[in-house]
Every structure is written in structure tokens, then in C-alpha cells.
Amino acid sequence: MPLLVMKFGGTSVADLARIENAAKKVQAEVARGYDVIVIVSAMSGETNKMVGFVEGTSKLYDAREYDAVVSSGENVTAGLMALRLQEMGIAARSWQGWQVPINTTSAHSSARFVNIPRDNIDAKFAEGFKVAVVAGFQGVSAEGRVTTLGRGGSDTTAVAFAAAFGAERCDIYTDVDGVYTTDPRITNKARKLDKIAFEEMLELASLGAKVLQTRSVELAMRYKVRLRVLSSFEDTDENSGTLVCDEDEIMESKVVSGVAYSRDEAKVTLVRVEDRPGIAAAIFGPLAEAGVNVDMIVQNISEVEVGSVKGATTDMTFSCPTNQVARAQKAMEDAVAAGTITYDGIVVDSDVAKISVVGIGMRSHAGVAATMFKALSKENVNIKVIATSEIKISVLIDRKYMELAVQALHDAFELEKA
């Protein structure tokens, strides 16, 4: 039998009525001849509630017990989904992570997959079962303890199962009906994409698009798992949603496929750092050790000092999430105290946003940067930092211009047109 993986997020299974709605979508795929592995998240809000229970019980909690508690929501959903499918006359059973087993590393709350043996689930399909309902977000370590994969881990679970079982496709059901050229809440010209390449989706996910978890897209691209993003709350067919696939499946790509944004960015500048070999490592090593997610990096042209300070100095600028600024400052202060770097001061601008244009067509088309900068200039939007890759151009701008910039770039690249 062909096999399909279907994943339902928290809003899609938020109550019994929505679980029944999701079960009907599974029933429709079984009627089409598929064996189905269903990956479920906890009911909307349940994981946060469990986290609150843990933090209310113990401030310095045992990470192993934390995982045991916060993974419980998925177990409940999996059982309820299996019960609903059984009531519909479908041979189904639920599986917790340790029962499959989903073997992971021992890094509690941020575990990684080791392997997913097929034997147990394949045996049930061979007995005539049509649906395996698996609790997402969780696994089991070599020590036999429950582990969790981090927020958004159910998306990654679904892709991992699709890869392990050679599924025809992995359908991610969520509260939106696909991937859009940009956030429809910012511009009503945003258009749903029929297809998008893995690399484009990975860039959009890492740049702030919330449709898919970044790790799930990385895994899908690695194992060539065809993903489909579609809505739990609409009638769907084989043409619904957005297909995330290899670029070879896309007949002709637009130069730019989408505009992404990240609102909560900060720009940090170390003023007059000594310009010498190894200075970048001396700065970004401690930042990495402190868990600061550095994104854009710019080093100014060196200037030679005179007077009391000798040698060349430079300004080093980088961006990071606003909630990591204090951590970054502490890491730099510790580096100064350790004598590994010196600088005249740190300047922090916590009122910026990152805007990015993404498209695999940029590889073979010139002028994307010029179009982007011209569109922003026309709206009097000043660019603070620029970073590029093969299929992406990102800029930092004042946060108050974020929505204006997104709208201007969407218009400039005519993304409303198919």
C-alpha cells in the first residue's frame, strides 16, 4: 500500500470537535487507498500549561522530568485521535515515542533523531491496521528516558517518519492554507504559492516565516521528502495547499518568491576593536558559547589610530534577536575581562527589523539588489546593514518602516502575479 504521513498541529486538534475534523481528513486518505501515519501535537495551549506546572514546582528542574511532563500533551492527543478513528470504523492505534521507538540523543528538550525502526509499525500495518497515530515532539534516549525535540518538534517528527518509511508525501495541516509570498496580514496582495523549493522554504522559515519549523525543512531537503502545507479548516483535495519540493519539480521559478521579515532584531556594534588576525574568532567564539544567535555581520574599513592608541582599529557590527542582547553584552564584557579583546564601547540599536527577499531565480538573474534598494529608497527607508547569500538579500531597517518596506518590496517584484 502507498503510505502517507499527515501531521496536525495544536490548533488543528485544539478540542474534540477539531480532532474529529482531523480524523475525517485521515479517513478520506484511507478511502483513497493509503496506509497513514498521523503525527499529532498537543492540544493548543497544553504544552505551555505543562511548562508552567514544571516551573511552578521547581525553578532548577531536572531536565529529564521536564521532558516527561511536557511531552504528556501529545500522548493525550494521540489516544483521542486513535479512539475517534476507531469510532469511524478505521483500524487505528496510538503510539508514544518510546513504543515506536523514536530513538534520539539524550539532549533533553532539544534532542535529535538517531533512528526510527520500522518493524513495530510495519507489523501492525501487515496485520490490517490502516492508521498509526504517533505522538509528535518526543522520543526516547539510549538510557530509556523520554526526550523532547524542542518547540515545533512535531513538524520534524512528521518529516522524519516520512523519510524513514519512504512516504509518498508528508502533509502538514495547520491554521493557514499554504505558503504565501509574504504575510497576508501586512498586504492583501500576498499570493499563495502552489509550489516552493526546499531551499526557498528553508530561507523563509529561518528568516521568520512561521509556517514550518526550520529543522523540519532541513530534514525534508536532506531526504527529499515532499511536503505539503495546507489548512485543517478547509475542504482539501490533491491540489490544495503549497507543495515544498525539489526545484526540479518547479517548471519556471520567479526571480523572487517571497518577502520575509523578523520584527524582533537588534543591531550591536563594537566600536574601535583592534584590527588583527583572530579578532573575529575572539568576538564570535564567546557569543556562540553564550548561545547568542548571530545573523548579519559587517566589519568596517580599518582606520589607523594615532596618539595613545597605536595600530589599526575597526568597528564590528552584528545582529541578533532582541532577547539575546543582554547575553551578548555579558559575553563581550567577559571577553574584555579575560583580555582577549578590547574596544571603546558597545552601541545597541534594539529598534530594528530584518527584511529579506528570497528566490532561487536570483542565481541566474542580475539586478535583484538594485530593484530592492531602489524600492526602499523610493519610500525613504534607510538601510543600516546588508547581507546576501546565493538566494537571499537581507537588510536591517528601522522597525517603524517594517510593514511599509514589505509592501514596497512585494510590489516592486510583482509577487501578486502568478
Q: Are residues 318 and 169 in the same domain?
A: no
161 and 283 in a single domain? The answer is no
Q: What's the whole-number mean pLDDT along residues 234-256?
A: 85
Question: Is 273 inside any structural domain?
Answer: yes
CATH number of the domain residue 297 falls in: 3.30.2130.10
Identify whether 248 is part of a domain.
no
Q: List, for residues 267-300, the tens digit of each pLDDT value.
A: 999 999 988 899 999 999 999 999 999 999 998 8
Q: What is the pLDDT of residues 340-379, one digit of tens each?
A: 999 999 999 999 999 999 999 888 888 999 999 999 999 9
C-alpha atoms less than 13 angstroms from C-alpha of 248 in its C-beta half-sphere: 3
**Per-residue pLDDT tens over the stretch 27-82:** 999 999 999 999 999 999 999 999 999 999 988 899 999 999 999 999 999 999 99
156, 299: one domain: no
C-alpha cell at 21: 475534523
Q: What is the pLDDT at residue 311?
A: 64
What is the C-alpha separation between 58 and 77, in angstroms, rounded?
Answer: 26
In a domain, 199, yes or no: no
Q: In terms of residue numbers, what domain contains 393?
A: 260-412
- 250: pLDDT confidence band, cut at 50, 70 and 90? confident
Query: What is the grid cell recorded at 177?
Result: 492554507
Asked if 356 contacts 392 with a C-beta cutoff of 8 angstroms, the reply is yes
Residues 169 and 306 occupy one common structural domain: no
d(CA 188, CA 416): 9
Calpha distance 120→101 (Å, rounded):
8
Q: What one-character DSSP code corresponds to residue 42?
A: P
401: in domain: yes
Q: Is residue 161 part of a domain?
A: yes
**CB-based burial, 278-297: b 16+ in 10 Å, e otherwise:** ebeebbbebbeebebebbbe
Is 208's pLDDT higher than 80?
A: no
Give yes or no: residues 153 and 291 share one domain: no
The domain boundary residue, chosen from 136, 152, 175:
175
**Whether residue 140 is found in the same domain as residue 36:** yes
Read off the pTM: 0.85
What kind and span of H or E run contains 49?
helix 46-57
Mean pLDDT (the chain, rounded): 92
Can you spell out the DSSP letters for 339-380? Answer: TS---SEEEEEEEEEEEEEE-GGGGS-S-HHHHHHHHHHHTT
Model pLDDT, residue 249? 85
The per-residue pLDDT for 308 is 47
**Backbone torsions φ then ψ of 249, nearest 5 degrees:** -80, -10
9 and 133 belong to one structural domain = yes
Domain boundary among 175, 209, 244: 175
Cell of 195: 509550489
Residue 302 domain-assigned (yes or no): yes
Phi-psi map region of 89: left, alpha, beta (phi>0 left; psi -120 to 50 alpha): left
Q: Which helix (H) or strand (E) holds 267?
A: strand 258-274
Instruction: Express each pLDDT in 304-318 by its tens digit.
Output: 655 544 568 899 999
Same-domain check for residues 281 and 147: no
| Count of domains forming the chain | 2
Q: Are residues 143 and 266 in the same domain?
A: no
Same domain membership, residue 142 and residue 280: no
**Using CA atoms, how far apart are residues 107 and 69, in angstroms rounded to an integer?**
16
What value does the mean pLDDT take over residues 405-415? Answer: 96
27 and 152 assigned to the same domain: yes
| Residue that terminates a domain, selected from 175, 207, 235 | 175
Residue 100 sits in a domain whose CATH number is 3.40.1160.10
The residue behind cell 490490517 is 128
The DSSP call for residue 48 is H
